[in-house]
Structure 1
Amino acid sequence: MIFKVFSNLDDSVRHRRKLRTDVAAAFPNLSAEQLTEFIPNKEELNVIKIYSHKGEAVTVYMNNRNPILFEIEKALYPTVYTLWVYPDLLPAFSTWPPVLQKLAGGADLMLPGVVVPSSGFPQVERGTLCAVTLLGNRAPVAVAVATMSTAEMLAAGMKGKGFAVLHTYTDHLWEYGDKSYPPTLAPLVTDPAEKESAEDEEEMEGKEPVISFSTDPLQHVDVGDLSLKERDSCTAPCENGIDTVLCGLKDTLLTAYLSCFSPAEQMDALFNQCFFHALKCKVKKSDLPLLTSTFLRSHMFSCCPAGQQLDIKKSSYKKFSKFLQCMQHQKILQVKELNKGVESIVEVDWKHPEYVEYYSKSEEREQAYHAPEIIPLYGVSTKMIPLFQESGHRKGSILSSSEVRNIIINYVKTNELVDETNKNFVKVNAILCDCLLDKSEQDEISNLKWDDLLSRCLERLQPLHQVTFFGQEPIVRKGNIEPINITIAQRSSNKKVTIIKNLELYGLDPQCVANVLQQKVQASATITPVPGTKDRVQVQIQGNQIHHLAKMLLEEYQLPRKYIQGLEKAPKLGRKK
């Protein structure tokens, strides 16, 4: 991220007044007193310009060392620091606490993740700037733009994308300030039923709370269950509004949320997760009977998320045999002592409702990724202007290959350049000569084949490409898209590692890819910066894992082979195809 202070508003009363006028117009809910407090007359007020990964300038206004506003394309947006002071500045929509991690990671807020209050939603139109809060706290944690009106959200059955997220608590813009946490602001109680419930809660204060948990204390608020559209990892150049600037995020609030549960309950939940994941990804019917010790060490341990560790002694079960007894009691599996003192899993109910539910949710998560649509485009360069100006195009005009082809064909026909003796050739006039021929060719070539003419034209245009991620607007970038690059490197002790670069360009989260690979091949995987870059990372996994990568990228993620470089370096597996 590149930034510089280019102005100090203390030096210009005119700038300060103009900003106050712009803020008043953007946020008419602010009273005159609040406006004066918001844009003070004497306190230091600085403006900082930050350049995004795409080269776009984002203006940030600072007061008391905290960012209070940011501006994109002349539109003003409040930061979370501002919304903590004026929580009712924007219409607010609430979501579950674990969802913040996804929003901060670049996801937009999908309607299934929005909590519907008994008093109903605020009435907003499409394009309205809104605040996102967490259930039970009125302090906003994100700034977003509504992609539907309230009526459209309800008509859609609360399905689809509801809000395009611009800025969140814990992102880089938040880190630019004092890094304070959201205050605890009680929700406004307007509904009589809610008010009565709140009064009942007050009466209960001081009494011992009675809390009931299932075997999985997180099953009612599972981040994976909420339909959020994953975006580029925070290590990639995100394309989600100001998230191009605000990447590199933390799990602070999610950690705080999980801390509401005891360590034993958290470990129980982790065992449940790894148990079902192992049944889905590691165990086949043909593997049964399977030693329970093998199931734990070889299957469940490898399904444990990165940064966490299974420890049965820290769970409420204390022994793995008791955990399996619980699963057997629920009739998910059957355990028998086939040899004296040695237990084995002999049967699994693959149709058990809990397994089917986990399998379905896991399939949904795996299928959430959609390979982007990539279209090569061409920009009219200075040298090619004479050839394209007849069709009304100027320098910088962006065209598809078919549009370029049609323009060239029309140009040739309009200027009667088709060779009369052989229609496969085109006569080279002065403009074609200057645009398409090198100096050494200009005295030698008088005719070109149609294919040669078109290929020369495309080569001399500026290369661009358009990437369209699922459910998002197309993005046009300069140059040709870099392929996913897979290489094998030699490390000490003659060990090999597989290195994967450029996953971000295709909307893939490098950390997620590393986690999936780690589970599939049971090898250590890490994320490291790409040498010579500031914002790119690479996945590094032990061994030559190109076979597994090829299956994942080509079959599971459905990426075209032409966008993957290095698959030929896979280890040979005999004659097996």
Structure 2
Amino acid sequence: MFAKAFRVKSNTAIKGSDRRKLRSDVAATFPTLTSEQLSDVVPNKEELNVIKLYTHKGEALTVYANGRIPVLFEMEKRLYPTVYTLWSHPHLLPDFSTWPPVLHKLAGGADLMLPGVIVPSSGLPQVDQGTLCAITLVGNRAPVAIGIAIMSSAEMVAAGMKGKGFTVLHTYMDHLWGFGDKSCPPAIAHLEAEPSEIMNAEEEEQEDEEEESKAHGKSLPVDPSLQTGIGNLSVEEDIQCMVMAEKEDPNESGAAEVTEEDNLDVPQEVEDSRSPQEQMNVLLHQCFFHALKCKVKKSELPLLASTFLRNYVFSCCPKDQQLDIKKSSYKKFSKFLHTMQQHKILQVKELSKGVESIVDVDWKHESIRSFVVPAEIEASDPPLQDSKGGDGEQLYHCPEIIPLYGISSKMAPLFQESGYKKGHTLSSSEVRSAIINYVKVNELVDETNKNFVQVNPILCDCLLNKLEQDEISKLKWDDLLSRCLYRLQPFHQVTFFGHESIVRKGNIDPIDITIAQRSSNKKVTIIKNLELYGLDPQAVANFLQQKVQASATVTTLPGAKDRAQVQIQGNQTHHLAKLLLEDYQIPHRYIQGLKKAPKMGRKK
């Protein structure tokens, strides 16, 4: 179900009444939970978010996340735990074991076949058809997947352990797991003796390959070569090997880049022993500490995380290497910063969803003091945020902004037949498809002129005002769609580079440029809302100050403690237009006030 990427529709904090209802639903679904364990799954006061999403197959789901960790998901009014929840409460579901190589198939979207299920000496757990079950790996009770039993335990045995056994819903290493902190399964010992198959494997691991394949061939669904030495490998090592194999195989370009970097002054045996992910981790830490030790000044704090990455961290990367955070174990720079915050190296503050700022750095921290800049790296380059047209400017990515439309209770009847309900947010193309579907299903296309749509009572109530209801019986297609979009609630989705999409209510505020009059008829230019587009107000002020040789200040925006505005002497609209439109490539429609630029006089 989560083998491919899903689309997040909304992410909101849970209401108090919904939290209480969720607690009662969880208690009813999982009666074995104690009150203390129930409070751990659904906390009383901690932040709990409700995430509406669509899977790659179009299925609508609700995910409940504690912070960034998904703990439950709901589908068709039934609650399911995630692997994160099961790692804390492994007793929650009856569990069936399988071999480590099978996990790779399950994470790719395959269901669990009965030949891959290990039958312990005590027999299979007794479950009925349709029971939700956990799937574990041999030797570790920590679940790596959840699935629904297609048949009862008795029917599985009667079928000779052949055929499909479980419909897998969610696994470790799928995209729902990737939505959390991407931690690995803990090592949890089984409460009962290990299956006889494992003991036989340990006793016969020194025998030749033919004898081993004969001893295990009937119970193993995979190639016997994958089973060699399984008694010597821990489950965690097996999983780590599989994670690396999955991430390295499809990424041929990444492997090629690592091959080119093999010429560094690192011993060959050490270089070969490190995976590409570990090498990227080392490079990220090197660039990070180099930037803090040699580039960032205390007077520049607070500093937007995106600016720190773009103008400082990337500039510290060696010329013959390329820093790609997605290829590291952190995947996102925000997660890396939070890890550094846990080590008390710096402090990060979230200004708004998806926008974080570094507010403090402990330059006396041992990690920074003991860092030595590699000799081959030239540390004399100036900060890129102060250079005109530098590489740092090109590394800025304008956020992707998509207008969305929320369905109100009044407009809901138009979208019910397309599977949408009140509160859903849709793109303009989805709105158009839903309206066309409604018109066709209800046969409202005018027979005499197909450019018109007949107005039925529902269209009348949703799209016409009181004065029009008695006069208009038909609408043109474009008029019908424009009226519908106008009456839907405005939302917008913002996707910053390297971050998850954020859905906010209303239209996004444009970058506002105003010209104000001060004493002695002096003019100043005021720029607001830069943070909404991932821009650092201080960096913009520094650029303008050097460009026009005029004083610039950054002050708190009145009425908004987490927002700032830039004020610079004179009418600097021309320079701002070049910076925002050409350098940062922000669309013109998201900038307000460019028409206030002074008119250039004719040259005599």
Q: TM-score range by the shorter chain?
A: 0.3 to 0.5
TM-score using structure 2 length = 0.45
TM-score using structure 1 length = 0.47
